[in-house]
Amino acid sequence: MIELSPFIIFYIGALLVLVSQGHVRKVILLVTPLITGLHLWFNLDAGILTTYSIMDYELTAMRTDKLSLLFAYLFCLASFIAGIYSLHVTDTKQHVAGLVYAGSALGAVFAGDLITLFIFWELLAISSVFLIWARGTERAFKAGVRYLLFQVMSGVFLLAGALVYYHNTGSLAFNHIGLNSTAGWLIFIAFGIKAAFPFLHSWLTDGYPEATVTGTVFLSAFTTKVAVYSLARGFAGEEILIYIGVTMACFPIFYAVIENDLRKVLAYSLINQIGFMVTGIGIGTALALNGAVAHAFSDVIFKGLLFMSMGAVLYRAGNINGSDLGGLYKSMPKTTVLCIVGALSISAFPLFSGFVSKSMIMVALMSENYGYLWLLMLFASAGVFHHAGIKIPYFAFFAHDSGIRTKEAPTNMLVAMTIAALLCIFVGTQPQYLYALLPWEVEYWPYDTTHVLVQLQLLFFSALAFVWLNKQGLYPPELHSTNLDVEWLYRKLLPASAQRGIRILQRAKESMMTTATTSMQSIGKTFSRSTMAKYHLSESWPTGSMVFWISIVLVAYLLLDILGT
Amino acid sequence: MSSENKKDEKIYFFDKPENVKRVLYVFYTLCVILVLADFVIHRHVYLVWENIPAFYAIYGFVACVALVVVAKLIRKVVMRKEDYYND
């Protein structure tokens, strides 16, 4: 009982939510992550191994160490905050999906073997898609299907990799895997899909903005962070991850600058932030890995906060396009302030959470002599501030007054955002508490004069660039538009080429049919002119044709018989 | 909405252009102070580029201008109508 795997509490919570309603349900929604968190904190220490066996396989349902525990604390926290944020929702399936989803994330980080990991990997996929489908539009339904396809594909790679891995090593234990085997690559691709590696990322930017107001808050917290956790455990120090991570940090910011849907901007910036974590995992030193994990922690809170603030805008204004918003600070001043806290945190302003976690990865890049990559990451850092730190609050709450007058966000949303904002500031000002939870032993302190000064210079002058570009009229205006990304391949190119293929086949079929009928007709004519046509059996065309075909069959038998012997 | 608009005739902080100017002046002053600080405070330097005076300020500004210029070029290639995918 004491070593109860925490995902079970979430699944029980989900069942109770299913059969309850009103205030009882609200209490269950909040108590579930709360008691799970307390159970984790007081009952579970590093070093627990709980095994079970299916057929002949010895599997590990729960393995605790500092790495899995940190992610588990984070997931309870995220689920608690998202739970408060969604208290006003009456849709049962969203609440059930949210709890099963969070519980599966817990199950995945405690999974000690690849099969258990696979089971939770798929449960994550299946539960989370309901948060997209719950939007109820056809657009969301289709986006959900595409999202699910990617997630299931990731699961297929994971299962295939796990089986090959077992075949090769005779073990299913989920520890360092590395990239020197086929199994390693299969599992790497599985993790890569869920971590939104470049070219495998479109499920995220396609799916997340289509989810419900509260659904996106859940989505942003779990799937990608489970992938980051899995990469940190299985592939730490694989150099290719540095290059993948830098690419992930850099390319989305261009899209984020020109994207109109502000929740999609945040989806791109989510990939950008995962890029920092993936880079840290690739470097693989204790400092870099701690940085990656710490940044995952900060990111869940501040990205959650930003998604919550944009969700509040969507909820109140009914719109989340930068082109149609503006001036909302007048109606939603509290949401504005809370959004700005999130913006400062993601931009890594000193005293906010992003600063104390991202800097570890930057310092690790420097000290491992990746100078040019460090420059690119510095560019990405400036870019984050530009699109997430300035663009999001500016176009939603300031810019030109759109004339939209609405109400402040509902109280439960404000409470959830306030908790997240306070956590951002707490982690930013008191980083020692987060650092104490980090898995690897290393001395690091982010606050020194040089570091604070250079970060402020970088950020202030990024902001200055924004002001200058705006004053010069050079800043790209927010426009109603769709920007082509990788999903174009399967949403446009693939269907178009498939249709084209079908059309070509159809045309081929038609021409074949016409050739066949004309030759048949000419054969019929020749036959009716022949002497055989005079016989009684062939008086009418059907019988005549029957005789004709029977004779052909007989000839064929004869030929086969001759050739056979 | 329009009836709410009429009630909402309050002048907000950023409705006054002089307030916007004031905020911007404070911001510019901070920018200047940060650059000046670069010459007063001794920074630890790990990489050669960091020896350039006000390296981070210059880099931040140039990076963001470059980001926006390139993004605008990308827009020419990737931007389509909102209903491009017909859903």
Residue A90 has pLDDT above 50, yes or no: yes
Q: Which candidate, A261, A513, A303, places its Cα nearest to that of A389? A: A303
- What's the average model confidence in pLDDT over A208-221? 95
Residue A137 has pLDDT above 90, yes or no: yes
Q: Shortest CB distance from B5 goes to which of A403, A448, A453?
A: A403
> Cβ of B67 and A449 within 8 Å?
no
What pLDDT score was predicted for residue A36?
A: 95
Q: Shortest CB distance from A254 goes to which of B38, B55, B74?
A: B74
Band (A400; pLDDT cuts 50, 70, 90):
confident
Q: Which candidate, A335, A329, A461, A337, places its Cα nearest to that of A395? A: A329
Helix orientation angle between A353-367 and A449-471, rounded to the nearest 10 degrees: 110
Interface residue A482 vs chain B (CB under 8 A): yes
DSSP B27-67: HHHHHHHHHHHHHHSPPP--SGGGGSTTHHHHHHHHHHHHH
- What's the average model confidence in pLDDT over B25-46? 90
Percent of chain A residues topping a pLDDT of 90: 75
From chain B, pick out residues whose CB is under 8 angstroms from the CB of A253.
67
Please write the tens of the pLDDT for every residue from A38-56: 999 998 888 888 888 877 7
Decide if A208 contacts A270 (C-beta within 8 A): yes
Q: Which structure tokens are listed for A524? A: 């019929």
C-alpha distances in Å from residue A503, one per residue of A344, A496, A511 = 54, 10, 12
Decide if B34 contacts A464 (C-beta within 8 A): no
Percent of chain B residues topping a pLDDT of 90: 43
> When comparing pLDDT for A19 and B45, which is higher?
A19
Cα separation of A424 and A24, whole Å? 30
**Residues sharing a CB contact under 8 Å with residue A214, sequence separation 6 or more, in sequence order:** A82, A85, A86, A89, A94, A98, A131, A311
What pLDDT score was predicted for residue A548?
A: 82
Please write the tens of the pLDDT for every residue from A11-41: 999 999 999 989 999 999 999 999 999 999 9
From chain A, pick out residues whose CB is under 8 angstroms from the CB of B47.
366, 371, 374
Q: How many CB atoms lie within 10 A of CB A18?
A: 15
Distance from A76 to chain B by nearest Cα, in Å?
A: 36
Q: Which residue has the tokens 């289709």?
A: A142
SS3 letters for A287-345? HHHHHHHHHHHHHHHHHHHHHHHHHHHHHHHCCCECCCCCCHHHCCHHHHHHHHHHHHH
DSSP A493-525: IHHHHHHHHHHHHHHHHHHHHHHHHHHHHHHHH
- What's the average model confidence in pLDDT over A327-340? 94
Interface residue B20 vs chain A (CB under 8 A): no
- Chain A residue whose CA is closest to B33: A457
Decide if A411 contacts A399 (C-beta within 8 A): no
Distance from A384 to chain B by nearest Cα, in Å?
A: 10
For residue A129, which amino acid is it?
A: V
> Cβ of A483 and B75 within 8 Å?
yes
Cα separation of A206 and B87, whole Å? 12
> When comparing pLDDT for A72 and B2, which is higher?
A72
Residue A159 has pLDDT above 90, yes or no: yes
Q: Which candidate, A26, A134, A37, places its Cα nearest to that of A85? A: A26
Please write the tens of the pLDDT for every residue from A364-378: 999 998 989 999 999
Q: What is the ipTM of this complex?
A: 0.89
What pLDDT score was predicted for residue B4?
A: 47
B 24-53 residues inside an 8 A Cβ radius of A:
24, 27-28, 30-31, 34-35, 37-38, 41, 43-44, 46-50
Interface residue B9 vs chain A (CB under 8 A): no
Cα separation of B68 and B62, whole Å? 10
Q: State chain A's maximal CA–CA distance in angstroms.
A: 111
Question: Hey, which of A68-72, A448-452, B48-52 has the most confident mean pLDDT?
Answer: A68-72
User: Alpha-carbon Rg of chain B, whole angstroms?
Assistant: 22
Decide if A397 contacts A374 (C-beta within 8 A): no
For residue B28, which amino acid is it?
A: Y
DSSP A160-189: HHHHHHHHHHS--B-S---SSSHHHHHHHH
Q: Where are the alpha helices (DSSP H) in A430-448?
A: 431-437
pTM for the structure as a whole: 0.89
Decide if A381 contacts A348 (C-beta within 8 A): yes
For residues A384, A387, A393, A398, the Cα torsion angle rounded to the nearest 10 degrees is 140
**Residues sharing a CB contact under 8 Å with residue A392, sequence separation 6 or more, in sequence order:** A262, A265, A266, A306, A310, A339, A343
Please write the tens of the pLDDT for every residue from A160-188: 999 999 999 999 999 999 999 999 999 99
Interface residue A12 vs chain B (CB under 8 A): no
- Chain B residue whose CA is closest to A331: B8
What pLDDT score was predicted for residue A121?
A: 95
Residue A533 has pLDDT above 70, yes or no: no
Residue A435 has pLDDT above 80, yes or no: yes
Query: Over chain A, what is the mean pLDDT?
Result: 92
> Cβ of B78 and A485 within 8 Å?
yes
Please write the tens of the pLDDT for every residue from A469-496: 988 888 888 888 888 888 888 888 888 8
B 50-79 residues inside an 8 A Cβ radius of A:
50, 54-65, 67-72, 74-75, 77-79
From chain B, pick out residues whose CB is under 8 angstroms from the CB of A407.
none
Interface residue A295 vs chain B (CB under 8 A): no
| Residue among B52, B56, B77 with most chain A CBs within 10 A, to mutate | B56
Q: Is A49 left (phi over 0), alpha (psi -120 to 50) or beta?
A: beta
- What's the average model confidence in pLDDT over A424-431? 96
Decide if A415 contacts A407 (C-beta within 8 A): no
> When comparing pLDDT for A443 and A540, which is higher?
A443
CB pairs under 8 A between A and B: 161
From chain A, pick out residues whose CB is under 8 angstroms from the CB of B69.
474
Q: Which structure tokens are listed for A318? A: 């009914």
Distance from A316 to chain B by nearest Cα, in Å?
A: 13
Lowest mean pLDDT among A114-118, A158-162, A198-202, B82-86: B82-86
What pLDDT score was predicted for residue A1?
A: 43
Q: Which structure tokens are listed for B9? A: 């005739």
Q: Shortest CB distance from A449 goes to which of B41, B49, B83?
A: B41
From chain B, pick out residues whose CB is under 8 angstroms from the CB of A382.
59-60, 63-64, 67
Residue A155's H or E segment, with its range, is helix A138-169
Distance from A490 to chain B by nearest Cα, in Å?
A: 11
Query: Over chain B, what is the mean pLDDT?
Result: 85
Interface residue A490 vs chain B (CB under 8 A): no
> Cβ of A492 and B85 within 8 Å?
yes
Q: Which structure tokens are listed for A195? A: 């971590």
Please write the tens of the pLDDT for every residue from B16-33: 888 899 999 999 999 999
A 349-368 residues inside an 8 A Cβ radius of B:
366-367
Lowest mean pLDDT among A34-48, A137-151, A467-481, A533-547: A533-547
Decide if A257 contacts B79 (C-beta within 8 A): no
What pLDDT score was predicted for residue B9?
A: 66
User: Alpha-carbon Rg of chain A, whole angstroms?
Assistant: 30
Residue A538 has pLDDT above 70, yes or no: no
> Cβ of B41 and A453 within 8 Å?
yes
Please write the tens of the pLDDT for every residue from A402-418: 888 899 999 999 999 99
> Cβ of B68 and A465 within 8 Å?
yes
> Cβ of A405 and B8 within 8 Å?
yes
**A385 burial via Cβ count (<10 Å: 0-12, 13-18, 19+):** buried
Q: Which candidate, A202, A265, A252, A141, places its Cα nearest to that of A487? A: A202
From chain B, pick out residues whose CB is under 8 angstroms from the CB of A138.
87
Interface residue A499 vs chain B (CB under 8 A): no
Cα separation of A352 and A335, whole Å? 18
Residue B65 has pLDDT above 80, yes or no: yes
- What's the average model confidence in pLDDT over A513-520? 89
Please write the tens of the pLDDT for every residue from A269-326: 999 999 999 999 999 999 999 999 999 999 999 999 999 999 999 999 998 999 899 8
What pLDDT score was predicted for residue B83?
A: 84
> Cβ of A476 and B61 within 8 Å?
no
What pLDDT score was predicted for residue A205?
A: 95
Strands A57-63, A482-483: pairing kind:
unpaired
Q: Which residue has the tokens 């830098």?
A: A246
Distance from B29 to chain A by nearest Cα, in Å?
A: 11
What pLDDT score was predicted for residue B85?
A: 84
> Cβ of A481 and B82 within 8 Å?
yes
Residue A251 has pLDDT above 90, yes or no: yes
For residue A518, which amino acid is it?
A: T
Band (A534; pLDDT cuts 50, 70, 90):
low
- Chain B residue whose CA is closest to A486: B78
Please write the tens of the pLDDT for every residue from A102-117: 999 999 999 999 999 9
**A360 burial via Cβ count (<10 Å: 0-12, 13-18, 19+):** buried
DSSP structural state of residue A399: S
Cα separation of A305 and A533, whole Å? 88
> Cβ of B71 and A491 within 8 Å?
no
Decide if A403 contacts A482 (C-beta within 8 A): no
For residue A389, which amino acid is it?
A: G
